[in-house]
Amino acid sequence: MTRRVVPLLVALVLLLGSLASAQEPIVLRLFSYVDVAMYEHIQEAINEFQSLYPHIRVVHETVSGSGAALYPDALRTALLSGDPPDVFFMWGGTIAEPYMRAGQVRDLKEYYDKYNWHDRFIPWAVQATQYQGVTYGAPVLVQGIAYWYRKDIFDRYGLTVPTSYAEMEQLAARLSNQNIHALSLGGRFGWHTMRFTEYLLEHTAGPELHDALNRLEARWDDPAVVEAYNLLKKWVDNQWLVPNFLNVVPDDARWPVYRGQAAMDPEGPWFERTLISDEMQGPHWDFFMPPTDHEPLRYSAFIEQLMIPVASRHPDEAALFIDFITSPETLRKYPQIFNTPATVGVTPDPELLPLSYKFQVILETSMATYTITDQALEKELMDTFFAIQDGIIAGRYTPEEGAREMQAAVERWKAEH
What burial letters (b/e) apply to 279-308, b meaning 16+ CB within 10 Å? eeeeeebbbebbbbebeeebbbbbbbbbbb
- Is 369 a member of any domain? no
Task: Read off the CATH number of the domain in which 229 is found.
Answer: 3.40.190.10
Please, what sign has the CA dihedral across residues 333, 334, 336, 341?
negative
Give the range of the structural domain holding residue 190, as residue numbers without chain letter: 146-267+378-416
Long-range contacts, 396-403 (Cβ 8 Å, 24+)? 397/229, 399/226, 399/227, 399/229, 399/230, 399/232, 399/233, 400/226, 402/229, 403/220, 403/221, 403/222, 403/225, 403/226, 403/229
pTM exceeding 0.85:
no
DSSP 49-91: HHHH-TTEEEEEEE--SSGGGTHHHHHHHHHHTT---SEEEEE
- Is 287 a member of any domain? no
Q: Are residues 382 and 263 in the same domain?
A: yes
Q: How many Cα neighbours within 13 Å face the side chain of 112?
A: 19
Q: Are residues 55 and 117 in the same domain?
A: yes
CB proximity list for 189: less than 8 A, separation 6 or greater: 66, 67, 69, 70, 249, 250, 386
Task: Give SS3 for 342.
Answer: coil
Q: Are residues 250 and 397 in the same domain?
A: yes
Q: Which residues of the chain have pLDDT under 50?
A: 1-3, 5-6, 8-13, 15-16, 18-21
Q: Are residues 401 and 259 in the same domain?
A: yes
- Is 3 a member of any domain? no
Instruction: Tell me the pLDDT tens digit for each residue of 59-102.
Output: 999 987 656 667 888 898 889 888 899 999 999 988 899 899 99
- Is 12 a member of any domain? no
Distance CA 48, CA 51 (A): 5
What burial letters (b/e) apply to 404-414, b meaning 16+ CB within 10 Å? bbbbebbeeee
- Is 229 a member of any domain? yes
Q: Are residues 254 and 182 in the same domain?
A: yes
pLDDT reported for residue 19:
42
Q: Are residues 79 and 133 in the same domain?
A: yes
Q: Are residues 125 and 185 in the same domain?
A: no
Q: Are residues 31 and 107 in the same domain?
A: yes
Q: Are residues 119 and 151 in the same domain?
A: no
Q: Are residues 248 and 167 in the same domain?
A: yes
- Is 291 a member of any domain? no
Q: Are residues 96 and 59 in the same domain?
A: yes
- The total number of structural domains in the chain stands at 2
Instruction: Tell me the pLDDT tens digit for each residue of 193-221.
Output: 999 999 999 999 999 999 999 999 999 99
pLDDT reported for residue 10:
47
Q: Are residues 162 and 230 in the same domain?
A: yes
- Is 150 a member of any domain? yes
Bridge partners of residue 146, in order along the sequence? 267
